[in-house]
Amino acid sequence: MLAFEVEIDGKPIVLAGVEDWSILALHMTGSRSKDTDQVEKSDADEVRFSVGGLSRPDTSGVRHHFRWKEEDLRIGSKVLVTVVETGQPDPPAKRYRSDKEIQENPFTDAELREMRRQDYVALKKEFEGGS
């Protein structure tokens, strides 16, 4: 099957592919904090890399989104993507339904825990002045 072999800064990251893909996509996203006045510019910028996609409909007509773990990038990061043929891709970090009848959570348990931790740290800083 077709897959994307990804290296970041010379380190192998993922061999992303699934047998039933209809869309397989790579994303590099830069985002800036809304509070750029309150933090240094370098702390306000976030650059991330991800791979994901959408399956063909299964026998019930249901499509699934799938994605692999996101990676942080920094200034100077080099991302190398090679389109390959493989029978042994890395399994997605998450695969979830893409329909309105059944809503599945798009995040893994570890990702949900990390989001709660980040909320906790932000709230602690806001209300207690902690770091």
Instruction: Tell me the pLDDT tens digit for each residue of 63-119.
Output: 999 999 999 999 999 999 999 999 999 999 999 988 878 888 888 888 889 889 989
pLDDT category at 38 given cuts 50, 70, 90 is low
**Length in residues, the chain:** 131
- CB atoms inside a 10 Å sphere around CB 92: 20
> 90 has which bridge partners?
16
129 or 114, higher pLDDT = 114
Query: Which DSSP string do the residues of the chain spell out, in sequence order?
Result: -EEEEEEETTEEEEEE--TTEEEEEEEEEEEE-TTTTTS-HHHHEEEEEEEEEEEPP-TTS--EEEE---EEE-TT--EEEEEEE-S-PBPPSEEEE-SSSS---SS-HHHHHHHHHHHHHHHHHHHH---
pLDDT at 37: 56
Q: Do residues 99 and 62 make contact, with C-beta atoms less than 8 angstroms apart?
A: yes
Domain segments of the chain: what residues? 2-104
